[in-house]
């Protein structure tokens, strides 16, 4: 099959593995495109899901009260300061729909998660893109870009796709200088992978901070669609007013609760991720291929080849990665850290393609 003849070729990276197998007509697919937790959720989460399937005729708790209480105890915040959403994506959409007006400006350092700009554009806001420096945040430049029209700043910490990380001290200084009319949206989807991460949740009553977390990444519950956001009660009320009543599901809510009760499983995931990262970096360095230091469960690699080209050539081998389309990073791909077997299969293919290109 000529992969290039497939319609909507770039969309394949978002498809489930079964559908990718059908489209590519391949039995073996190594999917490293969505930063999913390849090790799966906690056994405790799986157990409560099995026990709950007999009650699927009942609606979920529209307030997600039990999970909220657990998270409030974890973060030492009030129940009015948290909202549970249908994954972090719904939370991002709610934030923009509830708080951004047409013509308001949102500062977005790039490259970063695409859905910030998508949400802002849908609400007819103005995206003010700032190029990151070598894949890292320039917080001084971001502060200097704030104007009276600026309503929001989006910071993904650690950043997807570059893996850049803002230290606790740097974040605190940035927040201290934040003007009162600006809402800082901190996307902390990959926070658990960085041991020294300081959450913006501790600052929610000092400034207009909205800190987003998800159960899709390290907790391995991407299919359950559970995320949450913490912030001032006045901001959270506006988000609540904009959300659908039954925006989550029972299986996701109880699985998220059970996951919080299994720190040993999370510790194993962190260890496996660090081990995989170290091994992949060692192999990349051995072959002279550059990469960006990452605090997430992924690595952005500079292959020296156009990202679409290498995306297609890896697809031909049944390997799915994310090509970076930002003009300054057009030779980069983002690769999820998988199992040793998955990583080795990817690296063997990558090195072969790079050598052929040379």
Residue ranges, comma separated, of all CATH 3.90.1150.10 domains in the chain are 3-31+264-357
Residue ranges, comma separated, of all CATH 3.40.640.10 domains in the chain are 43-260
pLDDT computed for residue 207 by the predictor: 96
pLDDT digits 0-9 by tens, 132-149:
999 999 999 999 999 999
4: pLDDT strictly greater than 80:
no
The answer to whether 309 touches 302, Cβ cutoff 8 Å, is no
178: pLDDT strictly greater than 70:
yes
Architecture of domain 43-260: 3-Layer(aba) Sandwich (3.40)
Q: Strands across the sheet with 105-110, in order?
A: 82-85, 227-230, 209-214, 183-187, 150-156, 105-110, 126-131
Mean pLDDT in the chain?
95
Across residues 255-271, what is the average pLDDT?
Answer: 98
**Percent residues over pLDDT 70 in the chain:** 98
pLDDT computed for residue 1 by the predictor: 58
For the chain, first and last CA: distance in Å?
25
pLDDT computed for residue 321 by the predictor: 97
The answer to whether 88 touches 189, Cβ cutoff 8 Å, is yes
Cα 131 to its chain centre, rounded Å, is 19
**Rounded distance between C-alpha atoms, residue 188 and residue 174, angstroms:** 16
Number of Cβ within a 10 Å radius of residue 194: 19
pLDDT digits 0-9 by tens, 12-40:
777 788 888 888 777 788 999 999 999 99
- Whole-model pTM: value is 0.95
pLDDT computed for residue 47 by the predictor: 98
DSSP string, 217-239: STT--GGG--EEEE--HHHHHHH
The answer to whether 200 touches 75, Cβ cutoff 8 Å, is no
Q: Is 3.90.1150.10 the CATH number for 3-31+264-357?
A: yes
Across residues 153-179, what is the average pLDDT?
Answer: 98
pLDDT computed for residue 358 by the predictor: 62
């Amino acid at each position: 099959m000529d992969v290039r003849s497939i319609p909507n070729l770039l969309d394949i990276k978002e498809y489930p593995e079964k559908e990718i197998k059908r489209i590519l007509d391949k039995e073996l697919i190594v999917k490293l495109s969505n930063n999913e937790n390849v090790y799966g959720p906690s056994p405790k989460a799986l157990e409560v899901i099995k026990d709950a399937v007999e009650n699927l005729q009942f609606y979920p708790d529209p307030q997600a009260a039990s999970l909220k209480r657990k998270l409030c105890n974890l973060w030492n915040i009030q129940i009015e300061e948290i909202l549970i959403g249908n994954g972090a994506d719904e939370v991002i959409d709610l934030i923009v729909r509830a708080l951004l007006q047409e013509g308001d400006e949102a500062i977005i350092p790039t490259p970063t998660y695409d859905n910030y700009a998508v949400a802002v554009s849908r609400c007819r806001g103005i995206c003010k893109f700032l190029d990151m420096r070598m894949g890292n945040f320039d917080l001084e430049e971001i502060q200097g870009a704030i104007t009276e029209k600026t309503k929001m700043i989006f910071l993904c910490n650690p950043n997807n796709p570059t893996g850049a990380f803002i230290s606790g001290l740097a974040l605190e200084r940035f927040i201290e200088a934040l003007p009162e009319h600006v809402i800082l949206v901190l996307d902390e989807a990959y926070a658990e992978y960085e041991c020294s991460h300081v959450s913006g949740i501790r600052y929610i009553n000092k400034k207009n901070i909205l800190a987003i977390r998800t159960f899709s990444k390290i907790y391995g519950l991407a299919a359950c669609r559970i995320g949450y956001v913490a912030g001032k009660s006045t901001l959270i009320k506006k988000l609540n007013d904009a959300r659908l009543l039954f925006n989550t599901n029972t299986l996701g809510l109880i699985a998220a609760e059970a996951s919080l009760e299994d720190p040993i499983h999370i510790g194993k995931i962190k260890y496996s991720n660090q081990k995989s990262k170290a091994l992949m970096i060692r192999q990349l360095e051995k072959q002279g291929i550059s990469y960006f230091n990452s605090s997430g469960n992924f690595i952005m690699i500079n292959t020296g080849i156009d990202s679409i080209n290498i995306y297609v050539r890896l697809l031909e081998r049944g390997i799915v990665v994310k090509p970076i389309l930002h003009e300054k990073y057009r030779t980069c791909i983002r690769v999820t850290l998988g199992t040793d077997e998955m990583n080795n299969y990817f690296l063997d293919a990558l090195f072969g393609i790079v050598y052929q290109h040379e």
